[in-house]
Amino acid sequence: MGLPPVPPDASERYGDHPAQVVDFYGRRAGPRVTVLHGGFWRERYDRGYLRPFAAALAGHGFAVELVEYRRVGGDGGWPATFEDVNAALDHLGGPPKALVGHSAGGHLALCAAARRERAADRVVAVAPVADLSRAHDLGLSEGAVAELLGGPERVGPLLAEADPMRLLPRVPVELVHGTADRDVPIELSRRYAADWGARLHLLPGVGHYAAFHPTRPAFGVLLDVIRRP
The CATH code of the domain that includes 193 is 3.40.50.1820
Domain for residue 3, yes or no? no
Strand ranges (E), the chain: 10-13, 21-25, 32-36, 63-67, 98-102, 123-126, 173-178, 199-203
The tally of domains found in the chain comes to 1
pTM for this predicted structure: 0.97
Strands 21-25 vs 10-13: parallel, antiparallel or unpaired = antiparallel
Q: What is the distance between the alpha carbons of residues 201 and 152, in angstroms, rounded to a whole number?
A: 32
How far are the Cα atoms of 42, 155, 163, 171 from residue 47, in angstroms, in the given order? 11, 26, 23, 25
Q: What angle do helix axes 80-92 and 104-115 make, rounded to 10 degrees? A: 70
Q: What is the model's pLDDT at position 172?
A: 97
Strands (E), 95-169: 98-102, 123-126
- pLDDT confidence tier of residue 171, bands split at 50, 70 and 90: very high
Is the residue at 4 inside a domain? no
Whether the predicted pLDDT of 134 surpasses 90? yes
> Per the domain annotation, does 2 fall within a domain?
no
CA distance 182 to 164: 21
The rounded distance, in Å, linking the Cα atoms of 208 and 32 is: 24
Average pLDDT estimate for 33-57: 98
| pLDDT band, very low/low/confident/very high, at 213 (cuts 50, 70, 90) | very high
Q: How far is CA 180 from CA 24, 81, 103, 185, 187, in A?
A: 31, 28, 14, 8, 11
Per-residue pLDDT, 27: 84
The answer as to whether 107 is a domain residue is: yes
46 to 104, 127, 214: CA distances (angstroms): 11, 17, 19
Amino acid at 178: G
For the cut 90, the answer to whether the pLDDT of residue 1 exceeds it is no
Q: State CA 136 to chain mean position distance.
A: 18
What is d(CA 207, CA 193) in angstroms, rounded to the nearest whole number? 19
The number of residues making up the chain comes to 229
**pLDDT score for 229:** 83
Residue 51 structural domain: 10-227
Q: What is the CA radius of gyration of the chain?
A: 16
Answer whether residue 1 is part of any domain. Answer: no
Quick check: 111 and 134 in contact, CB under 8 A? no
Partners of 201 in the beta sheet? 176
Q: Predicted confidence band at 14 (pLDDT cuts at 50, 70, 90)?
A: very high
For range 190-219, the mean pLDDT: 97
DSSP E strands in 62-183: the ranges are 63-67, 98-102, 123-126, 173-178
Q: For 23-32, 79-88, 89-98, 195-204, which range has the lowest pLDDT when averaged over its residues?
A: 23-32
Average pLDDT over residues 46-59: 98
